[in-house]
Structure 1
Amino acid sequence: MASILLAICVSTPATAQVEDRQAMMDLVIQVQQLQDEVRMLTGMLEEQTMELENLSNRQRDQYLDLDQRITALRNPAPPLTTTGAAMTSGASNTYEQAVPQVREEAPEVRPALDTPSSVTGIATPDTQARDMALSPEAEKAAYDMAFQSLKEMKYADAASQFQSFLRAYPNSEYADNAQYWLGESYY
């Protein structure tokens, strides 16, 4: 009986030591898992930080671009003037009527004496008074007319109308779109 009691006393501490070792191993494994999880979360945090920084830079660039555009709209180019001949009332309803021809600066040529300006086509002071600045409404109407021709599949008409529009309004807010649709009209 003494031997049984001795065996029980000796085996009990050994069993406790094995259980303690197992618990210690479980704790080490848990610590390693937590360290791995912290590394993974740190990596995700760095990725999110970089993405946030990229988005912030992109937003700043878009803001600066928008600010430049608004500044450009506030300080428009000086208005262009048209010739009086382009706005005659007897002309047919064509695109050229909506897009007045831009007068180019040329050396002054004086007409012959007693020759009316309607014959020579040279602007005199009284015909210059009839010249008017290109209006935003005429600009929009010219673009819309060219775009309508494109929608109606009149590609040749649309191409010539977009070309006329771009000559008349090179700095228009619609110039980029007109250039694009001009290219599309060739297909």
Structure 2
Amino acid sequence: MMTFSKAGLAAAVMAAFAYLPLQAGAGLLDDAEARKAILDLRTKVDAVTRELNGRIDGKSDKTSTLELINQHEQTMQEIARLRGQIEVLANELSNAQKRQKDFYVDLDARLRKLEPRQISIDGKDAAVQPSEQASYDAALLLFKAGDYKAAAAALDGFVKRYPESGYAANAQYWLGNSHYALRDCKSAIAAQQVVVKAYPDSPKAADAMLNMASCYAELKDKANAKKTLDALVAQYPDSSAAQTAKERLPKK
């Protein structure tokens, strides 16, 4: 398609208007009339040229505007795409931060579960590991359920694994009771002797001696039964076990 510049169009129009009238009126107009006609034609050419230029300028402005509109639309589309990516990344970042926070909260909770807790056992403060507490509770639960054989095994395992535990004296005492419940008096006496010797300050020591005396009595060992009761009254005179021991001792 052929295109023309502003100057080209103006020249073409001027030539067209200047050429035709002059050729048609040649020989019919004098100089004054001819000059006037030329001025009129020039005026008309100028008017047409301005109109054409205006149209061309309008067309050029519209083209530029359309180009700007297209560029604007493309820019907006790119912005929308980038915003979409930003939203996706922001969402992923938020999720990652939440997962990280949940991870640290869970980790902290797990670590706290692994940390020893300060508790009071028979009036004494002791640091107890979570696994230690769980092991002791499970063994004692077996005893309370009447599964004395399993309880004896669990309690024996506990005192061997946690010899310095704040529950060690109690576990040893219930180990002796588990053997006694199984009618194994020799094992019961041996277990209770450990309580008396290793944990003499334990509130369970007096009861352990009373249980030993009961086992000796069942074994028909009256001498050791009496000896144990006498020792109990002497070592733990204010205990309830000592009061029971006095009742069992023969009257003098």
Instruction: Quickly name the TM-score band, shorter chain normalised.
Output: 0.3 to 0.5
Instruction: Tell me the TM-score normalised to structure 2 length.
Output: 0.34
Task: Say which structure is richer in helix.
Answer: 2
Q: Greater RCO between the two (CA within 8 Å, min separation 6)?
A: 1
Larger radius of gyration: 2
Instruction: Tell me the TM-score normalised to structure 1 length.
Output: 0.44
